[in-house]
Structure formats: C-alpha cells, structure tokens
Structure 1
Amino acid sequence: MLSQRNLVTSVLNQLAMEARRATAPPQQGATNGTGGANGVQAPSDGSAPDDGENQPVAGEADGGRGRRNRIVTAKTTVQPIIMERIDVSVAASLEPDELERQIGEIVAEVLVEQRIQLNRSEHKQLVRLLVNDMLGLGPLEPLLADESVTDIMVNGPKQVYVERAGKLDLTDVEFRDNAHVMNIATRIVTRVGRRIDESTPLVDARLEDGSRVNIIAPPLAIDGTSISIRKFAKKKITLDVMARQNNISEAVASVLKIASRCRLNILISGGTGSGKTTLLNAMSRLIDHGERIVTIEDAAELQLQQPHVVRLETRPPSLEGLGEITMRDLVKNALRMRPDRIILGEVRGAEALDMLQAMNTGHDGSMCTLHANSPREALTRLENMVAMSGFKLPPAAVRTQISDAINLIVQISRMRDGMRRVGKVSEVIGMEGDVITTQDLFHFEFEGEGSDGKLIGTFHSTGLRPNFSPRAEYFGLGDQLLEAMGCR
C-alpha cells in the first residue's frame, strides 16, 4: 500500500512539473479559487497556459470531433492550474472516487474563472481525463475499459490502433506529445519494478489486471515510444465457449479435454496474436484442483483457476547488468519445488531443453506455447531451441527426447476473417530412423466465405485411433475418446 502511495505521489509530482513548464506568466486579474475538501486545494497563482497554443482548428466540423476538441482544449487550459492548486501529498492519499469528486469541484471553479463553457457531460469527461492522467494510464483508460477491445497499439503520440473482433481500427485517441507517451510507459513499468529509458529501451511488463505489455522506446523506436497491450480477458474462456464461438468443434473440444485430463504433455503452436495463451488457459481449467502447478512466464498473464498455483516471472538485469533471472533459471528451480505440472507461457530459447527434461522425468501433463506455423515446424523450432542451450547433443538424441516428451501439438491461427481457429491437432507417435513421426487427429478445411465475411469450414476428424488411447483407457476415458474421434 505504501509503495502504491509513493508511486501516485511521484506521478502527481511529475504532472505538476509538466504543468508548471506548460504555464505562461500569470495573467493579470486571475483569481485564486477556493474549493476542494480535506486539504486537496492549495494556494494558486492563477497561471494559465499560452492562449495561442493547442486551440481548436477554425472551421472544424461539429459533432463528436468538435466535442472532443473542446474537452481537450479545456484540459490543456485547466490542468496546469489544477496541478498548482492541489496538495500532491494529500491527493495521493485519497481514494479514486474521493479524488475525482474533489477535482470536480476545483475544475468547476477554474472553468468559471477562465470563462470556459462546458455542459454537464463534457465537464464529467474533463474530470475523468484529469483523474486518468493522475492515477491511471491517461488516454488509454477508455480503451482499457472497452471490453470489445482485445489489443491496444500505441505508435507514438498521434497514432493509436485497437483490435476488435480480429480487425485493426485506428482510434481518435491521442497523447499530448512524446513526453506524455513516455510518462505513461514509465508509469506502467514502475508498478512492476522495472524501468524504461534510453539505457533500457525494451521492456516486457503487465498491468494490474494481468494484461500483457511490451514497450519499446527511442532511440530504438524512431517515431516515438511504442506501447503494445494484450488485454486480460475478463470473461473466462473455456473449451465449451470456444466450441460455441466456432474456434473449435465439439469433437475437438472433447479430445482436448480428454488430453488434459489424461496428463498429456501438450505443445500449443501458433503465430503472434493467434490465441495460444487463451487456448492454454482454457485447457488448464481441466487440471485437477488437487495438483500443484508451477507457471513460468516473462510477464505473468496466465489465469489458472486452481487453488494450488505458484506463479513465477523472469527478471531483467539491473543497470549494472546483474541480477537477471531467465526462463531457464526458473525452469531449473521449478524442478525443486515438487510440481505436479509445469506450464511455460512461451518457450523461446535454451529453456526448451530443461522443459523437455522435466516432461521426461515425471512431470506429465505439462504445457507450453511456441511460435510456429505448423506442428512440423514447431518440432523443428523446438529442436533448434535445444541447440541454443549450449549442449552438444546429437540431432538424433534431441529428436528422441522431443518425441518422448511431447504427446500432442495443437496448431491455432488467426484467419483472415479475424477469428482464431484451431487448424490442426497432431499427435507425436515416436521415431522412424532419425525422423519424428506424427499423425493428424483433426484439421480445419476451408470451404468458402459467408455473406458476413466470415470463413466457412469444417473441422474434420481423420478417424484414426489415437496413440494415447491406452492412456485414456487408464483414466477411464477410452470410450469417450474413440467416440469423439468417430472411431465408433
């Protein structure tokens, strides 16, 4: 709680400094407002920003755009005065609702003093923008509150894209300038104990709700700081929900449920933004609540519902280059924590070898994700990652270890209509010579496009008897597996 309060105080102090820089010399006759309760209001010199800057463009169309310009222009004028009048230390100790109420009172006074006319709705929006700048993520807050938005992409101060229903849209959200974007980026990473600056221009972080964040700052980002947010889904996704949404078929959902309950080692493969983590979360809901699960991620975003979960997260090096904790370090440590299952958010390097060893040494039912375009390519990438570990293992030995460790590969992709679908479910059979052999259990077959632009297709079962049928029998799920595969 103390650290959060210190963070808020730091943010408010920073905003106050920006406000002082933005203000012009005090205007003659400006009055010092009085309003605000519990000490939030402090003496003000009544200063205001340069009248000639950030004014609405003459002749701009009315409506939503004009309304937004009025609010933004009012904010530009009001914010420096507000920051001069509030007591930062007191404001940092207030609850958000109380702070919003008191800021609203001061804003009402300043609007009268500055002869700015806003209706009740615009006044409320102005207060919300000011509070968002003080406590939240500024212009991004409305996008974070919009449940239809799944991704937010900031490309500098004047370009913010969102993804809705798998499609990218350019929004009218803007930041004041590059410094404003960098201020929001700093606020995000500071909350998770990380930093973003010229010496550390690349950062992975997360928001308080678990949403994943990647930030890249100048000089690497030429056009200004870039922020990419993969929002944390508030609605819990299950395999049944995915079947209703046509991400998978009922038969595929049944086989994946059985695979998870049978403690198969599962690799989820797909491209960026294809829904790998969402599918991993859905499959993890089938894990028994009596098992001890250890999750390992660069930025924690998994949403496991079981009571006995230990969440581990990597740590970047300090400015001196010390203290880095990698995925590989965490996988090695997890093996000493008596896990029943180990779940890796994403395998991308030398930790692949340690993960395979864990799967081969009694930690059945482990799961991980990997970037690849097909099940066969996923196996090749896994082999290449093992080579990154530095151990000089013969290719045949690596492939044998992979074939012994991985039981099932689920390939998921985002198709051109924006929908995520499981394109293929493949089973690892074993080795033939130096080649890992697999067999497909399901594949999605494209059949056409509907009038609404959605792709039409069918999830086809190959009708083959799965190689893990004996294991399903052991768990009492053999008949259900064969029925789902259409073998009966």
Structure 2
Amino acid sequence: MTDGSRNEALISGLIDEAARAFPQVNAANLAVDRLALQDFCQQLLKSQKALDEGTRGLIVDQVCDELLGFGPIQSLMQDPGVSDILINGWDKILYEKAGRLHPFAGTFLGPEHLRAFVFRHVARAERSVNRSRPWVDVELSDGSRMHVIADPVALGGPFVSIRRFPERPFSLEDLESFGAITPQQRQWLEAAVDRRLNMIIAGAPGSGKTTLLGALLARAPGHERIVLVEDVSELKVNHPHCIKLQTRNIAHGDSEQATIRKLVRETLRMRPDRLVVGEVRGEEVFDMIAAMSIGLSGSLSTLHAGSVTGALHRLETLYASATSGQSGVDPARALRDAVNAIVYLERDAEGRRRVADIHMLGEA
C-alpha cells in the first residue's frame, strides 16, 4: 500500500470515528466545534508515528473540513467566483467560473465517501433521499442550493449539482456594469418596479433569472411588505420588509402539504404589497395570476423557457392545466389581464448572461 493510500484509509477512518464522537456538530458553533475536533483527531493520530507534523496537520484539517464544511470541495465553496459545482462521481468534479466549466483536481476518497457527504448534508437540512424518492433539493449551511439525484435512477451516482449565490444581492447598477443589461434596459426596469408592473422573468436554467429577480426586489420601496414563496430558499433579497415562505413535505397523519400553491394562497392573508414566487412550474400559476388580477400589483416570478414565445405558451399551458374542467376559461386573456411584461434572459456561447428581450403584454 502506498503512503497516499494509507493516508486515504486513515482519513476515512478518522472521519467515521469523529462523526460518531461528534454527532451534533453545529455550523453555528464552528470555532468551538473545530477546536474540539482538532484536539480529538490529534489524540487519535498520536499512534501514527510515521506521520510528520505537516502531514498530521493536513489530515486533521481534512477531517474538520469534512464534518464542519464541505470536504474535498471546501476550496470551491470558499471561492466567490465559483457559481456552480457539479459532482458526476467521486472522482469527477467540475465547477463553473466566469461562465465556463473547468475540471477540479480534487476528488472524494471513493464512492462511499461521496455518499456519506450527500447523506450528511441532506440530513442537516432535515430532508431525506432514498430509493423510493431518489432526488432532493436542499439548502446548505452557507445558503447554497444542492440538488441530488441518487440510485436507482442515477446510474453510477449520486450526482450532485450545487448552485452558489453571491454574498450580497446584485443591484440593477451592478448588472449594468457586468453587461447583463443595457443602460436603457436598466432605466426601463427601474421604472417598471416603480410603476408596480407585474413581471415574469423567463429564461433557460442558469441564465440569471434569480439574480435579476433579486436586483428588481432591491429596487422596491423600503416601506413595502414583500412576501416571497420558494420551493428551496435561494433568493437573497436586500430589502427591509421581505418575509420568506418555503415549501415543506409534511409526513404526519393527514396534515396538509405546504406546497407552492398552498403557500401562495396563504400569502393573500398576510397583507403583502408584492407577491414573489421564486419559480412557477405548476398549478400555482393560477393562484399567482389571480393575485395579480385582484390588484396585487408589482408582483414577480421566474419561469423556465427557451424564448418569449415559449414562456407565453408555457404559462398558458400551466394555467389551462390548473383550470381543467372549468368552463369559459381563456388562459391567454387571463395572462394579458394580469401580467404586464415578460423579461427574457439568455446565456451566450461565452457564458455571458444578459437580458435579450422585454416583451409587453396588455396595457402597462
């Protein structure tokens, strides 16, 4: 066995022992927990006479990063320029930086190490992933969003996709400086928020919809009450009166599930000035359109679509599905009456994200 293999086996064993000894490690008490973990690992390593002090310190740091942080991808999670991390296997990690994917030199110790990493972070979010439900979205301790898809549908998995977010939300001025919007588009978007237009932010995955949504909300007057509904919390909002609701699967008796649609309905009892739905993709579109139609102006949402036309078609399809069986329903008219504009984003071949089109509906 090589020195590298011995160290990997040693690290794996230390991680297992430390996890058993510190089952309730808490990111909120990071400094205290790290000191205790370091001392615990140093005591266990005293018997490893062949290890020099430098190697011993590296091993201790790896174990602490594993249990208190993000293990082999710790450096990526600390890099503010990294927007996405894709784990396609224990030894196949990619990351996106400046719109481009790059291979990462680091790896997990093996398939079991990757699975343990996944299960630990899913459990910390009080969620689960198993053979009967092999996919899950969770919020990580730093606010990043992690999507996992596992056996039996992920052949050779689990596969992990982590979307990271900036420490502070970008403003419309920031987006203009990045080239994501033109000066004319910034002025139009500022006026749209001021005039309380209802807008849908559409685009492909990774096109910058959530970033633009956060910038628009930062423009809203500070005295307004914003109620935000999300499936997984990912939108960082720079606004003094924004409250967040998040879906939840409730597995106790006959309790009603906290779905997006249920939460959108609940917001109407919460005196919102603006309703924000992180993403519409189901029958909740009916309740959101209804809220816009009854005077809840200035409301916003995002939608996955490949074009403005595709966004309109998808909204109409979702609305028709939500009102199936009701007579006299005209989805196209309902959308025109409620939604003032669709803002469409795209990402070009160089990875740059930008507003490609602003399409007006009805009167605004």
Q: Does the alignment pair 1:199 with 2:164?
A: no
Alignment deviations for residues 427-464 of structure 1 (CA, whole Å, 9 cap, x no partner) = 11x3xxxxxxxxxxxxxxxxxxxxxxxxxxxxxxxxxx
Deviation at 1:102, TM superposition (A): 5.0
1:64-463 correspondence runs (5 A): 70=4, 73-77=6-10, 80=13, 88=21, 92=25, 95-104=29-38, 107=41, 113-118=47-52, 120=54, 122-316=55-249, 318=251, 323-393=256-326, 397-428=330-361, 430=362
Alignment deviations for residues 270-307 of structure 1 (CA, whole Å, 9 cap, x no partner) = 00111100010011101111111111111011112222
Change (3 A) 1:104 1:312: closer
TM-score by length of 1: 0.69
TM-score by length of 2: 0.90
**In 1: Cα distance, 2:80 partner to 2:18 partner:** 35
**In 2: Cα distance, 1:315 partner to 1:93 partner:** 22
Deviation at 1:100, TM superposition (A): 3.5
Conserved 8 A contact 1:212-1:299: yes
Q: Which has the larger radius of gyration?
A: 1
Conserved 8 A contact 2:19-2:67: no
**In 2: Cα distance, 1:222 partner to 1:395 partner:** 46
Deviation at 1:193, TM superposition (A): 2.0
Conserved 8 A contact 2:15-2:66: no
Deviation at 1:115, TM superposition (A): 3.7
Conserved 8 A contact 1:332-1:354: yes
| Secondary structure of 1:160 counterpart | strand
Aligned-partner residue type, residue 388 of structure 1: S
**In 2: Cα distance, 1:365 partner to 1:85 partner:** 51
Aligned-partner residue type, residue 261 of structure 1: D
Deviation at 1:220, TM superposition (A): 1.1
**In 1: Cα distance, 2:233 partner to 2:159 partner:** 20
Deviation at 1:146, TM superposition (A): 1.2
**In 2: Cα distance, 1:86 partner to 1:402 partner:** 53
Deviation at 1:325, TM superposition (A): 2.1
**In 1: Cα distance, 2:142 partner to 2:26 partner:** 22
Deviation at 1:392, TM superposition (A): 3.3
**In 2: Cα distance, 1:251 partner to 1:403 partner:** 24
| Secondary structure of 1:388 counterpart | helix
Conserved 8 A contact 1:154-1:160: yes
Conserved 8 A contact 1:74-1:116: no
Unpaired stretches in structure 2, ≥5 consecutive residues: none
Aligned-partner residue type, residue 9 of structure 2: T
**In 1: Cα distance, 2:90 partner to 2:15 partner:** 23
Conserved 8 A contact 1:82-1:106: no
| Secondary structure of 1:424 counterpart | strand
Change (3 A) 1:82 1:109: farther
Deviation at 1:206, TM superposition (A): 0.8
| Secondary structure of 2:148 counterpart | strand
Change (3 A) 1:84 1:375: closer
| Secondary structure of 1:285 counterpart | helix
**In 2: Cα distance, 1:363 partner to 1:155 partner:** 43
Deviation at 1:310, TM superposition (A): 2.0
| Secondary structure of 1:198 counterpart | coil
| Secondary structure of 1:195 counterpart | coil
| Secondary structure of 1:203 counterpart | strand
Conserved 8 A contact 1:202-1:215: yes
Backbone CA RMSD of aligned residues: 2.7
| Secondary structure of 1:281 counterpart | helix
Conserved 8 A contact 1:215-1:228: yes
Q: Say which is worse superposed, 287-296 or 183-192, in terms of deviation.
A: 183-192
Aligned-partner residue type, residue 10 of structure 2: T
Deviation at 1:99, TM superposition (A): 4.2
Aligned-partner residue type, residue 178 of structure 1: P
Change (3 A) 1:118 1:243: farther
Unpaired stretches in structure 1, ≥5 consecutive residues: 1-51, 57-69, 431-466, 469-488
Conserved 8 A contact 2:277-2:301: yes
| Secondary structure of 1:353 counterpart | helix
Change (3 A) 1:78 1:317: closer
**In 1: Cα distance, 2:335 partner to 2:122 partner:** 36
- The percent of aligned pairs where both chains have the same amino acid is 33
Deviation at 1:179, TM superposition (A): 2.5
Deviation at 1:81, TM superposition (A): 5.6
Aligned-partner residue type, residue 96 of structure 1: L
For this pair of structures, how many residues does the alignment match?
A: 363
Conserved 8 A contact 1:266-1:368: yes
**In 2: Cα distance, 1:83 partner to 1:394 partner:** 61
